[in-house]
Structure 1
């Protein structure tokens, strides 16, 4: 049973995970691979609006995408973009990345190899991954400007699109945990996490929304709560 308090806490995490950047034209758009083809759809829409002349799709497969995207996340994203009318010459594919850090590093290398001059990146992710993707890119590619983007969905609309409310809450909680612990591990820049966001996160953990948490060898959830 998901309570009214659970939903209120989830909305607080949802709002925090989104960067709220004003979209503007960038050197390139990079779509981060996942189970969600909506990332590719958003990339195509922004390309059509003239916000990027080139799309890069990055991602291999994972346990959650292997069956659904057997040719790899980036390849399926490319196929979707071509179906929607994007010219093949406007799409680059990076098919090896298996996490957000590799998404950024491998895409950067691909663009350098292709001779693309990059001063700004339109970084496209799932709605609840905006802040994590931004923080990772700022750590690994600090010399370029990062503009975060995702499908313009409300929490309710996103839950409806996934069809599993508990899974969505678990994903939001897991994404927040990574924002708390990854800076210390050197994976992303540190960002201020408001007290009310941490409170919401801790309540949701206490209520059992923990399937996406990273754990140590003894099965305990990794934690680094900053107050």
Structure 2
């Protein structure tokens, strides 16, 4: 039993380290579009976490790394607006023209975000993407992007609201759980 506990602990440390390290790498390169993974909204405003994802994606767009933005995320329970509609409005306030923004309003999970983004990419002939999210979210998100056929690179939000260990460790624990969940269920 002692060895099994040690093996499990080593496995969890390895997975955690892999997730952490992956999120430190910015692989942004020219692509057809930028996929911004949804996050919570408050009324018609993005939460601070989501706002940082949107701001960063807009900065990549303004640097000329992609000509289109895809905002993902449906309407959460009790919300009047979808994550993607709030994001597109916020991006417009930052100067992004509406004709370069695509949004999907059906997804409620990261995997659904990727399935819906892939459908938009196919519909508009977009062959490559930069995926933007918080650093600790990207390892799992990129696995999912690959599984749905999106040719993508990742670019972590450098201004993530998860800055202190007190906020990063629970996020990391959540990602360790969800990466195992995805490995087992595909969801």
Question: Could you tell me the TM-score, scaled by structure 1's length?
Answer: 0.64
Q: Measure, in 1, the Cα distance between the counterparts of 2:116 and 2:69.
A: 14
Cα deviation per residue 1:119-171 (whole Å; 9 max; x = unaligned)? 21111112211111101111111xx42100121147xx6336xxxx6454222
- Give the corresponding residue for 1:137: 145
The equivalences for 1:49-88 within 5 A come to 49-62=63-76, 66=78, 70-88=80-98
Structure 1 stretches of at least 4 aligned residues deviating more than 4 Å after TM superposition: 11-14
Matched, 1:30 2:60: no
Unaligned runs of 5+ in 1: 1-8, 188-227
Unaligned runs of 5+ in 2: 1-12, 41-49
Total equivalences in the alignment: 164
Higher RCO (CA 8 Å, separation ≥ 6 residues):
2
Flag the 1:53–1:95 CA change in 2: closer, same or farther, 3 A: same
| Structure with the bigger percentage of helix | 2
CA shift, 1:118, in A, is 2.5
Contact 2:130–2:152 (CA under 8 A) maintained in structure 1: yes
Q: Measure, in 2, the Cα distance between the counterparts of 1:145 and 1:127.
A: 19
User: CA RMSD of the aligned region, Å?
Assistant: 2.4
Cα deviation per residue 1:157-206 (whole Å; 9 max; x = unaligned)? 6336xxxx64542221011122223122234xxxxxxxxxxxxxxxxxxx
